[in-house]
Amino acid sequence: MLELKSVFAADGLLSRHIPGYRARDQQLEMAQAIADTIERNGLLVAEAGTGTGKTFAYLAPALLAGGKVIISTGTKTLQDQLFNRDIPSVRNALNVPVTVALLKGRVNYICHYHLEKSLQDNHMHFVNREEIKYLQLIERYALRSKDGDKSGLSTVPENAAIWHHVTSTRENCLGSECPSYKKCFLMEARKNALASDVVVVNHHLFFADVMLRDEGLTELLPACNTVIFDEAHQLPQTASLFFGESVSTGQLLDLTQDSQVEALNSARDCVALTDAIASLEKATKDLRLTVDDENVRYALPVIEKNKAFRPALNQLVEKLSELESILETQAERSEGLENCWRRANSHLLLIKRWCLTDQESENIDYVRWVEVYSRVLQLNATPLSIAEIFSRQLDASPRAWIFTSATLSVKQNFDHYLHEMGLGAAQSLCWDSPFNYSEQALLYVPAGLPEPHHRDYIEQVVKAALPVLKASRGRAFFLCTSLRAMQQVHDQLTAAFVAENITFPVLLQGEGSRSHMLKRFRELENAILIGSHSFWEGIDVRGEALSLVIIDKLPFAPPDDPVLSARIEKINREGGNAFMEYQLPHAVISLKQGAGRLIRDENDRGVLMICDPRLTTKSYGRKIWQSLPPMKRTQQLADVEAFFLRKIG
């Protein structure tokens, strides 16, 4: 095997083959630690500050070690970047004959069966003219595409409603019974993954498979020697999602639509089936209408206070039971009807389990709650702890597990992450960023702002931000901890700009896709982008266009969130301190992500403005700012103005 020093040296293989490559001691040290972990089938949790080059640090030893490797990333965008750019670059530099496959969840692949049904379906009256145009584009793309990945068809927006009708779900996939099974894009992607040395997945796919044994990793994991999680700070939230259970009114309406189509095709004479479908559709919509709000979460005791909720849920269970019974009698008439019956049965079991009282339920370590979107109501059961469930995956068979991110620790302490993920036996290591933060960045916490709960807080934040935005000449991200605060900041900042005749362009999250917003931000060169969680991580804007990051307040999750409040109660009940052990570490990691947008390479310079006075007035504030990169700190506006004068020259 190649010496890693010869790979990462200033005149090494990476330097000779990859334009702009720079040797960094931290990168070599990290690569050596990962190589050692792979060799001994160990567990490694590795934090690598921005600029360390962690992607190459894990790719080189993974490709050189041989054996099968699964790399799981935080997003599909990162998946594509790894597969299309990073892995080919490192593989060519190392000259190793490694085969690589990209595997996404089934919803990313066009389904021939559902596409054909959509093209033939005269009942798609809900599809508008634009969607019909998209359907024709998808039909042509499916004929010429090798992989059927919808990301390859940029002329159809990713959020277009038509995708729902031309892709499959776990529920409505016919599997080997499908007439198009032999040319299935998804099955081809899974075959490629099985035959490849390196498979790139994302966290959602990884955990969907771990829990559902359905998405293509079932056969991959047993043969796998190494699993690498990039952006590993996202794992606790993703794992909680998949280690729990959920069922939504959207899934039930999909069931009624698919049952209606199958009834028309294969059971026209069964009048009772059509009636049962209509009854379930009405009961499903009635349940959603019991809650007036949208984008809200309710714990079970709170939603139970809604007098209309439980009767509507009972009515839905009754109508779903009736449909399930009738579908069972018709199931043998077609694969589609049998599929609908199995789905109805599965949904019914989930809802009945959710309805059990605490005394009846065996899942006492789960919190039951309801989430409501604009058109959908979802019933959720989420584990209070994922540690035990995940640690069982680690013990299943010997292999190396590597968890890496720029944000995993609090003051280089990993205890909270190791405990939350069940990684007690893991080695944890930390490498600081190679950037010179004391020269490149300034942390500004303005004096005199009220506590965040004050009714005029956002107004005061905008007032404090105004002179800083003038000094930076725009070129800022204004990151907010909630959509409500984001809208308030936008409205007040816009009004202030009009009053003072300031002409910096103001962009608001939601005015376009994230990629479109970033493109506009870079092109304008003096814009202020106001965003919420979508812009806290996974964003890379280098150079002068982004010289200021403003954060409205410390990103503590709202304590009335049903899952968080149940976890807080459990930790405190067991004698722990939920604030210090759980809430604070999560806030620190989230803050580090937001702060990480500012300095992206060795030439960047800028100001991080955190408006929350708790950073300087509370005892825990010190722990928070000590977890940030080592910037110079100030509470004086004059220091900020002087910084920008020096920067702009």
Q: Are residues 214 and 70 in the same domain?
A: yes
In the block, residue with structure tokens 């968080």: 564
pLDDT given at position 548: 97
Q: CA 458 to CA 450: how far, in whole Å?
A: 10
Model pLDDT, residue 513: 79
pLDDT (tens digit per residue) in 467-488:
999 999 999 999 999 999 999 9
Whole-angstrom Cα Rg for the chain: 26
Does one domain contain both 28 and 124?
A: no
Q: According to the model, what pLDDT value does residue 218 have?
A: 61
Q: What's the pTM value of the predicted model, to 2 decimals?
A: 0.89
Return the pLDDT at 222: 67
Q: Are 224 and 363 within one domain? A: no
Give bridge partners of residue 379 from the DSSP assignment. Answer: 247, 370
Q: Which residue has the tokens 């302490």?
A: 413
* Residue 2 CB partners (closer than 8 Å, separation 6+): 13, 64, 94
Cα(299)–Cα(307) distance, integer angstroms: 15
pLDDT in the model for residue 647: 59
The verdict on 94 and 150 lying in the same domain is no
pLDDT at position 131 is 83
User: In this predicted structure, what is the pLDDT of residue 649?
Assistant: 44
Print the SS3 string covering 587-618: HHHHHHHHHCCCCCCCCCCEEEEECCCHHHHC
Token output for 113: 């069966």
Shared-domain flag, residues 21 and 159: no
> Who has greater pLDDT, 553 or 76?
553
In angstroms, the Cα distances linking 489 to 305, 368, 494 are 34, 34, 8
Q: Give the burial string for 139-148 (b: 16+ CB within 10 Å, else e).
A: eebbeebebb
- Enclosing domain of residue 221: 4-102+193-242+387-431
- pLDDT tens digits along 236-267: 999 998 888 899 999 999 999 989 989 988 89
Q: Are residues 181 and 229 in the same domain?
A: no
Alpha-carbon span 544 to 647, nearest angstrom: 10
CA distance 458 to 469: 16
With CA atoms as reference, report the closest residue to 598 among 648, 539, 524, 548: 548
Per-residue pLDDT of 131-180, as tens digits, reads 888 999 999 999 999 999 998 898 888 878 899 889 998 778 888 888 89
Written as six digits, the tokens of 569 are 């109660």
Instruction: List the structure tokens of 93.
Output: 């530099």
| Mean pLDDT of the chain, nearest integer | 91
Tens of pLDDT along 386-439?
998 888 888 878 899 999 999 999 999 999 999 999 998 899 999 999 999 999
To 10 degrees, the CA torsion angle through 253, 255, 256, 258? 120
Residue 215 pLDDT > 70, yes or no?
Answer: no
Question: Per-residue pLDDT averaged across 495-523, rounded?
Answer: 91
Q: How many domains does the chain have?
A: 4
CATH of the domain at 601: 3.40.50.300
Q: Output the DSSP codes for 453-465.
A: TSTTHHHHHHHHH
Do 230 and 257 lie in a common domain? no
Q: Are 449 and 418 in contact (CB under 8 A)?
A: no
Residue 319 to residue 452: CA distance in whole angstroms: 47
Q: pLDDT tens digit string along 320-372?
A: 999 999 999 999 998 889 999 999 999 999 999 999 866 555 556 889 999 99
Q: Is the pLDDT of residue 82 over 80?
A: yes
- Considering only residues 123 and 11, tell me which one the structure prediction assigns the higher pLDDT: 11
Contact 404, 37 (CB under 8 A): no
C-beta neighbour count of 484 within 10 angstroms: 11
CATH code at position 354: 1.20.120
481 plus 620 within the same structural domain: yes
User: Burial of 581 by CB count in 10 Å (0-12 exposed, 13-18 middle, 19+ buried)?
Assistant: middle
**pLDDT tens digit string along 589-630?**
999 999 999 999 888 999 999 999 999 999 999 999 999 999
Which helix (H) or strand (E) segment holds residue 191: the answer is helix 185-195
What does the pLDDT average to over 485-494? 96
Contact (CB, 8 A) for 409 and 417: yes
**What was the pLDDT predicted at 364?**
62
Query: How many other β-carbons are positioned within 10 Å of the β-carbon of residue 196?
Result: 18
The token pair at 209 is: 């498979």
The mean pLDDT of 574-580, rounded to a whole number, is 94
pLDDT at 515: 82
Handedness of CA 212, 214, 217, 218 (dihedral sign): positive
Task: Give the per-residue SS3 of 362-426.
Answer: CCCCEEEEEEECCCCEEEEEEECCCHHHHHHHHCCCCCEEEEEECCCCECCECHHHHHHHCCCCC
Of 383, 418, 447, which residue sits at a domain end? 383
Between 162-166, 293-297, 511-515, 626-630, the lowest mean confidence (pLDDT) is in 511-515
Instruction: Based on the fold, state whether residues 269 and 378 are members of the same structural domain.
Output: yes
Which percentage of the chain shows pLDDT scores above 90? 72
pLDDT at 127 over 70: no
Contacts of 416 (CB under 8 A, 6+ apart): 410, 581, 582, 585, 586
Q: Is the separation of the CB atoms in 480 and 508 below 8 Å?
A: no
More confident residue, 230 or 539: 230
pLDDT exceeds 70 at position 499? yes
Question: What does the alpha-carbon distance between residue 89 and residue 550 come to, in Å, rounded to a whole number?
Answer: 35
Cα 511-515-521 angle, rounded to 5 deg: 70
Which pLDDT score, from 0 to 100, does residue 125 have? Answer: 54
Listed residue (439, 532, 515) closest to 477, CA to CA? 532
Separation of alpha carbons 81 and 72, rounded Å: 12
Banded pLDDT at 445 (limits 50, 70, 90): very high
CB neighbours of residue 396 within 10 Å = 10
pLDDT band at 226 (very low <50, low <70, confident <90, very high): very high
Query: Does one domain contain both 171 and 97?
Result: no
Q: How many residues does the chain have?
A: 649
Asked if residue 556 lies in contact with residue 583, where contact means CB atoms within 8 angstroms, the answer is yes
The angle, 0 to 180 degrees and rounded to 10, between the axes of the packed helices 335-355 and 249-266 is: 150
Q: Which two tokens stand for residue 384?
A: 């209070």
pLDDT > 70: what percent of the chain? 95
484 and 591, same structural domain?
A: yes
Taking residues 101-112, report their average pLDDT.
92
Residues 478 and 577 in one domain: yes
d(Cα 481, Cα 645) in Å, to the nearest integer?
A: 30
